[in-house]
Structure 1
Amino acid sequence: MEKVERDIIDGIADVDFGKSKEGFGVIYHKFHTKVENFFLAKGYILLVIGFLLGRALILATLTPFVLPFFAAVYLTRKDKAPLALVGLIGGAATLSLKEAFVSFILAFLFLIAYKLLSKWRRNENTFVPMLVLSTVLLGSLAESYILLDTITMYGAMMALVEASLGYILTLIFMQSLPLLTISKRRQALKTEEIVCLIIMLASVMTGTIGWSIYDLSIEHIMSRYLVLLFAFIAGATIGSTVGVVTGLIFSLASISSFYHMSLLAFSGLLGGLLKEGRKVGVALGLYISTLLIGMYGEGGGVLSVSLMETTVSVFLFMLTPSFLTSRIAKHIPGTTEFSQEQQQYMRKMRDVTAQRVSQFSTVFEALSNSFSAKSTTNDIDDSDRELDYFLSNVTEKTCQTCFRKEACWARNFNTTYDYMKDIMTEMSETDGSISLGLSREWEKHCTRSKKVTDAIHQELTLYQANQKLKKQVQESRKLVADQLLGVSEVMGDFAKEIQRERENHHKQEELILEAIQDFGIHIENVEIYSLEQGNVDIDITIPYNTGFGECEKLIAPMLSDILKETIIVNKEESAGYGQDYSHATFRSAKAFVVETGVAHAAKDGGFISGDSYSTIELGLGKYAVAISDGMGNGERAHLESEETLQLLQKILQSGIEEQVAIKSINSVLSLRTTDEIFATLDLAMIDLQNANAKFLKIGSTPSFIKRGSKVIKIQASNLPMGIVQEFDVDVVSEQLKAGDLLIMMSDGVFEGPKHVENFDLWMKRKIKELKTDSPQEVADLIMEEVIRSRSGLIEDDMTVLVAQINHNIPKWSSIPMRGFHQKAN
């Protein structure tokens, strides 16, 4: 019982602690939001920065920061310029009232000149710095003349130096101020912006020169804290840059701080190198730098003070919240946070794109459903309704004026209706005639039997034409529905493909890079996009291309051994003039390859044949072989068959299923023209991974597969394309094997032999008697046999297309990489 009570109490305590922790997070978030809004949105940070810059000195006498900062604020955030001016004058007043007065006068003169010269303002980014330079130069010369009644060479040189610094600082502040005042920034920082930001922060910190707490210099503490922060966020490169720039600014402000530049630069470099140790590693780098540089300082007392200043800066660094460092890191290229931010953005764009494509897929599917045929119940209702309309038209012309109308349609409605329905049915089936039995019964029932029968025959012609038109519309609707559904499936697959995220293969990339370089081949970079079996995709960058085929002869065989499958060079881009790198793409080799041979001849030995053929290598490891025979001979038949194959190639390459592609082509051919122009199509789709073949034959002759001494016939019955708008495509599947010969031919070859009753047996016998396996030789021999059987005459267009399926044997054997497998294990 005590245990249960203790568990309940502990549970309540955990809940309270969770609530307090959650409440603390909410309070902290609100506090952070208010502080950020106060300083950034309302612009009070400009007041603080202005105060420190107002009392910052260069070379112990110059104050070049005042007017550049005011001008930059006036240009970027004009509404906050009064706050910045108040801060600048307040900071200058801590030096002397004269400095405060001079600062106010320079700002006043700048505003007057800015308004007066507004007509000549073309580009603010160049006009404002030049105006600052002129104002500072004239102001300094005027001040020197008022105080000394003359302008000395030294005074003129110092005025020129201060004006030049003002020009440069204006450019720097214009670059860096938006980084501090805009609360939400998505763009990555450029190198120039980072340097400008560092210069501005260092310049602000020079305003703390002379401040100390318990003999600890504030500027030393803050400058080391700044170096720690950037070394931890961005690494050694940015850390050392921050150290050098900050130290340089401080040495210009005070000569006594010159040695401090070495300390900051070294600590930035060392801290950045030790950033893998997180904050402790970066802090350790600063301590080591302080000790090493301090040994060359001014004695043990100075070293102890420097160590105390380092300790305070490390303490502030440790208190810096992680959200602040990660927020800054998101804008600095090269950091992990920046990469994650970019990946998140790309992932979002990918998801949005996939969603839009998926929505389009849904739209096409909905359109397909709307074009689909109506339900069976609706079809039956429509048929009954149309029959009623048909009989109404007949009775309107015959029964309306008959004296027996009431007897037939009021008392014997069902009998009259059934008789007329039977008459209509028999007439539609027998081309307008009815049986003698039905004719006698109808004459007994109707006094105007001959007139009614003639009216039914007349209306039946219109009825049948209407039904035929309706059927064509329904077939067209179904064809459009199938095409829209095919497009929907393609877009749906594309959306799924987009959502496939590139996997991280950093370890494998490093292992492959190291293994190939240990072998003695220098490569620059390895990028793995996919390691899926049968779908490997690797890009490798090499420094140059010697032209000796290193990628094909060495790198691909090594990758084949590493990945335990055959890898080939898919694409190789040689380094052009002035380029130092070449790029090669390595992909998985297909399990099978297809070698083709073609023999064709035009009727009577002409130049233009009505037959066309095509071999198409599609994506996803598919290979298509097709023959099309246009009706007749000559140029018109050639154009018909050629266009059929071009449409087929484009539709298949888009990813639409074969049956839908053929139906689409048939629709185009049947609706395009009223001329009786038809085309046959003999298509074989071969999967290069498993050698499975699909045969789609539209009005074409049989094909044959020669497997050793065995000959297999492939046949399907479909009308040629363009005759009817709707037909079912018969698909015949056959598993091919290595060494098989697939022989396809047009009707001019299959039906070409003279004095042959059974073309199948003749063609099988000739194929079986072949003594060669070369596709081109097989095609030539079959063509020669057919022409010889007709005594050398070519009475029709003739085409023979032969494809041989073989295992894909790599050109180069794999190179064993034993070291790689040991490291991988």
Structure 2
Amino acid sequence: MIRKLTKDWTNPAEHGLDVMKNMGGKMKSWIRAALFQYGLLIALVGFLLGRAMILSELAPFALPYLAAIYMLKRERTGVAALSLVAGALSGYHGQALFILSGIVVYIVIQKIVVKTGQDATKALPYTVFAASMVTRLAFVLVTEGTIVTYELMMATVEAGLSFILTMIFLQSVPIMTGKRLQQPLRNEEIVCLIILLASVMTGTVGWVFQDITVEHMLARYLVLIFAFVGGAAIGSTVGVVTGLILSLASVASLYQMSLLAFAGLLGGLLKEGNKLGVGIGLLVGTLLIGLYGEGSTQVTVTLMESMLAILVFFLTPKSFIQYIARFIPGTAEHSKEQQQYLRKIRDITAGRVEQFSTLFQTLSNSFQSPAQIPNSEEDEREIDYFLSNVTERTCQTCFKKERCWVQNFTKTYDSMQRIMTETETNHEVKDQVLMAEWKRHCIKPDKVIQAISHEHQQYQANQKLKKQVLESRRLVADQLLGVSRVMGDFAKEIQREKEAHHYQEEQMLDALRTVGFEVGHIDIFSLEKGNVEIEMSISADNSHGQCEKIIAPMLSDLLRETVIVKKEENGFYPNGYSHVSFSSAKQFVIDTGVAHVAKGGAWVSGDCYSTIELGSGKYAIAISDGMGNGERAHLESNETLQLLQKVLQSGIEETVAIKSVNSVLSLRTTDEIFSTLDLAMIDLQNANTRFLKIGSIPSFIKRGTNVLKVEASNLPMGMIQEFDVDVVSEQLKAGDLLVMMSDGIYDAPKHVENKEMWMKRMLSEIETEDPQEMADIILERIIRTEHGTIDDDMTVIVAKVKRNTPKWSAIPLYKAPNIMRKKTQKAALS
């Protein structure tokens, strides 16, 4: 409070400005409430429409306006009716009695329509037509005594106009009542709104101030506003519609339609010059059409009307123009409004996904088993349950129960606890001293020991069941954790702001069309370095490969990086154009060679392997060795790899994926069948490799003449329920050869003591760098070393890391445009 008082005292000007802003905000709120909530706008429009006439004798505006208000904002019907009658009384046409009678006839017919059970909204134009026709013919009959053909025709024209205006006002009046203020307008609604505004302007016919006609000035102001907001198309449309309505109200204003249309066209074309350009457009149109329409004698008055409209246009607040522009399709404000709406929807969607991610994270935490902390009370409780089950079958029926458990409770309890421990350790009581003491203490020693042994079996079964339950909970927790992370990453992807690349799209479109390609459109989704995503439609080339051979190399020259064809769909569009997707080429490619053989040369091997290119820009190489040989081991290892592949492709991180697969394997069967897993995840952008070895032997990296070993210590999958995955990272380089093998290869040389050095020497002696040849040579040498015998399943995979050399060179363009791009976060950091 002291700081606020000090600020107000030391800076009175700023305080006064804040007060003025607050007063201005309150004034705007009061004006908005008066116009929309209290019906002041409805009254003003009704007053002017009550004065409006067509051809100096027709009043088709009053009944449609009243009907629209009655259907859309019934509580304001009285205000609308009174304002219409007031406007008619102030007019020069003397139609007040006709409008009042028409209102009464319309209300009567509307009540009849409602009572008949028909849809009042659909029948509204017909109701207005009938009310107008009946009222006009009744007036003619009363005043003239007979209905001639001319009067019947004019009454029909008036009723027909009322019919049309009713449908128009039903679309434009909601904008005025505030029900559609938050939604963009369709083109039809814009035209309906202009017709309503022009109809309102006809109520100002006859208002003249110093030879300046008010309706002319207002019409030109309206054209200026919409030409500045919507451009030439909207400006000329507003000019034509407004001029047409004014010319119907007054034949003398017929030339105004040409003036307003021409001024709207020129003003829209000059809108890049802001308000001054639009004003110049109106002045030029006024001079040209004014001289043509009324001659030089009246051009001064017409010019003064345009100058006054321009003055009011210049004084119009920018916020009011921006507010109108929000509802006009094609404007920058409308696009911004749409982007804000889409961003809001995107943020809501991302928030929902994050909520689900948090939910799965919470569920994962709830399923996680608590850490096993030694608890003496828990141990004592387990012992009490154990001994109570034993005594229930033995001591409860013994006649010396009171002597053992009442008089000598401590000794009995301690002795049975020692027997329980001895039985659990040795499956029998081997301590003779303990056995002798127990026989002296108990009259049924053998029966108690037998009951303890039997209870141990049930106890072990229960413990095993508890472990399985805990492992099931751990599996569910790991899966939920993985899903939570995937959904969290997905929420971040949703929230990532998609940039607009309109200028770059135009540059590419012009560059491709300049060299003769028939390109329909180009959509740029990303221009980040190493993550380019471009889609376009292009005319069919009869499978000549122009996208791969020409367009992709041209894009490579434009973007200064290799761009390749990701996907091509011929005849995708109705006009026969093809849909083509382009993306950045990976920095590295992997060539693999595989050699494998089953034990004893059999058909089915217990080893399985897989090479997977994941969508995240990673390349996975995996070898799984099922325990033993033959079909059962093959099924075990193959299922391990298939399950791992599906989990990895879902986007779950490698360590979580392996833990999940291990949990599934450990719970799937009660048989002691295990499998090893050797997994290498290679990042194709920087060749960084993560090795995850589960019970597998070392891998080797051959770099020139040097051979490096990669190893990690983890038990085979399915052997234990919980384990930590040991991850080893290595940075590979172009030209490196990665050698991964099963234990049948590594352990085959029985006469070798240091198998690591022997394997390194053999790999360094191989001269070829072709992956397939190297894999065949390794397998052949291993078999020859063992004199042709194959004692175990053997699998070896050789992967060569190579720089990605594009198939087609970049094609330079003459005067290639400089396309602005943003670097990725990784590139910026490096």
Indicate the TM-score class for this superposition, using the shorter chain for normalisation: 0.7 to 0.9
- Equivalent residue for 1:687? 683
**Per-residue deviation at 1:299?**
3.8
- The correspondence of residues 302-701 of structure 1 with structure 2, limited to 5 A, is 302-375=298-371, 377=373, 379=375, 382-383=378-379, 386=382, 428-432=424-428, 464-505=460-501, 508-516=504-512, 521=517, 523=519, 525-542=521-538, 547-576=543-572, 578-579=574-575, 582-597=578-593, 612-628=608-624, 640-674=636-670, 678-699=674-695
Between the aligned partners of 2:375 and 2:578, the Cα distance in structure 1 is 65
Amino acid at match of 2:161: L
How far apart, CA to CA, are the structure 2 residues paired with 1:359 and 1:487?
12
Shift of 1:810: 0.9
Quote the residue 2:70 is aligned against.
Answer: 74
Q: Tell me if structure 2 keeps the 8 A contact 1:210–1:217.
A: yes
- The 8 Å contact of residues 427 and 453 in structure 2, kept in 1 or not, is answered as no
* Contact persistence 2:588–2:687 (CA under 8 A): yes
User: SS of the counterpart of 1:529?
Assistant: strand
Name the stretch that deviates more: 484-493 or 771-780.
771-780
**Is the Cα contact below 8 Å between 2:57 and 2:93 reproduced in 1?**
no
Give the conservation status (yes or no) of the 8 Å contact 1:552–1:568.
yes
SS in 1 for 2:589: strand
1:190 and 1:759 mapped to 2: Cα distance? Answer: 79
Q: Tell me the amino acid that sits aligned with residue 46 of structure 2.
A: G
Deviation at 1:202, TM superposition (A): 0.6
Kindly indicate whether the alpha-carbon contact (under 8 Å) linking 2:522 and 2:534 is maintained by their aligned counterparts in 1.
Answer: yes
Percent identity (aligned): 54
Residues 186-197 of structure 1 mapped to structure 2, 5 A cutoff: 186-197=182-193
**3-state SS in 2 of match to 1:220:** helix
Distance verdict in 2 for CA 1:286–1:461, change over 3 Å: same
SS in 2 for 1:693: strand
Name the SS for the 1:232 alignment partner.
helix
- Determine if contact 1:512/1:820 at 8 Å carries over to the other structure: no
Preserved CA contact (<8 Å) 1:511 1:824: no
What displacement does 1:764 show? 7.4
Contact 1:476–1:725 (Cα < 8 Å) also in 2: no
* CA offsets 1:667-726 (integer angstroms, 9 cap, x no match): 223334445665544432221122233333445566555555666665555554444433
Corresponding residue SS for 1:327: helix
Residues 626-635 or 642-651, more deviating:
626-635
Task: Note the C-alpha offset of 1:52.
Answer: 1.6
1:807 matched to which residue of 2? Answer: 803
Query: Any conservation in 2 of the 1:640–1:679 contact (CA below 8 Å)?
Result: yes
Alignment check: 8 A CA contact 2:507 2:817 kept: no
Residue 737, structure 1, aligned to residue 728, structure 2: no
Of the structure 1 ranges 209-218 and 275-284, higher mean CA displacement relative to structure 2 is found in 275-284
Opposite residue 238 of structure 1, the aligned amino acid is I
Using the TM superposition, name which of 283-292 and 367-376 deviates more: 367-376
Task: Output the amino acid matched with 1:80.
Answer: R
Residue 168 (structure 1) aligns with = 164
- Over residues 491-521 of structure 1, what are the superposed CA-to-partner deviations in whole Å (9 max), with x where a residue is unaligned? 3323333222123555555555555555555
The Cα offsets for residues 391-449 of structure 1, whole Å up to 9 and x where unpaired, read as: 78789978995969899877x99xx96x987776665444545567x759978998999
Distance change (3 Å), C-alpha of 1:222 and 1:536: same
Instruction: Please report how far the alpha carbon of residue 179 of structure 1 lies from its aligned counterpart in structure 2 after TM superposition.
Output: 0.9
Alignment correspondent of 2:108: 112
Q: Aligned pair 1:39/2:35, yes or no?
A: yes
Q: Does the Cα contact within 8 Å between 2:113 and 2:120 map onto a contact in 1?
A: no
Question: Taking structure 1 as reference, are residues 10 and 439 closer, same or farther at Cα in structure 2, changes over 3 Å only?
Answer: closer
1-side partners of 2:404 and 2:238: how far apart? Answer: 113
Tell me, what secondary structure is at the counterpart of 2:686? coil
Residue pair 1:682, 1:696 contacting (<8 A) in 2 also: yes
Q: Distance in 2 between matches of 1:545 and 1:162?
A: 61
Q: Does 1:53 align with 2:59?
A: no
Q: CA deviation at 1:218?
A: 0.7
- Residues 183 and 29 of structure 1, relative CA distance in 2, 3 Å threshold: farther
Indicate conservation of the 8 Å contact 1:703/1:743, yes or no. Answer: yes
Q: Tell me, yes or no, if the aligned pair for 1:40 and 1:183 is still in contact at 8 Å.
A: no
Residues in 2 aligned to 1:734 and 1:12: alpha-carbon distance in whole angstroms: 65
Matched, 1:244 2:278: no
In structure 2, relative to structure 1, the CA distance for the partners of 1:97 and 1:316 (3 Å cut) is closer
TM superposition shift of 1:659: 1.9
* Count of equivalent residues: 813
Deviation at 1:750, TM superposition (A): 7.1
Deviation at 1:181, TM superposition (A): 0.5
* Counterpart code for 1:357: V
CA distance, structure 2, for counterparts of residue 220 and residue 578 of structure 1? 49
Q: Does the 8 A contact of 1:754 with 1:789 survive in 2?
A: no
SS in structure 2 of the partner of residue 536 of structure 1: strand
Alpha carbons of structure 1 residues 146 and 339: separation in structure 2 relative to 1, 3 Å: same
CA RMSD of aligned residues (A): 4.4
1:128 aligns to 2:102 (yes or no): no
Name the amino acid aligned to 1:738. Answer: A
Which amino acid in 1 is paired with 2:679? L
Q: Using structure 1 for the length normalisation, give the TM-score.
A: 0.84
* Contact residue 741 and residue 797 of structure 2 kept, 8 A: yes
Specify which of 272, 276, 284 is matched with residue 276 of structure 1. Answer: 272
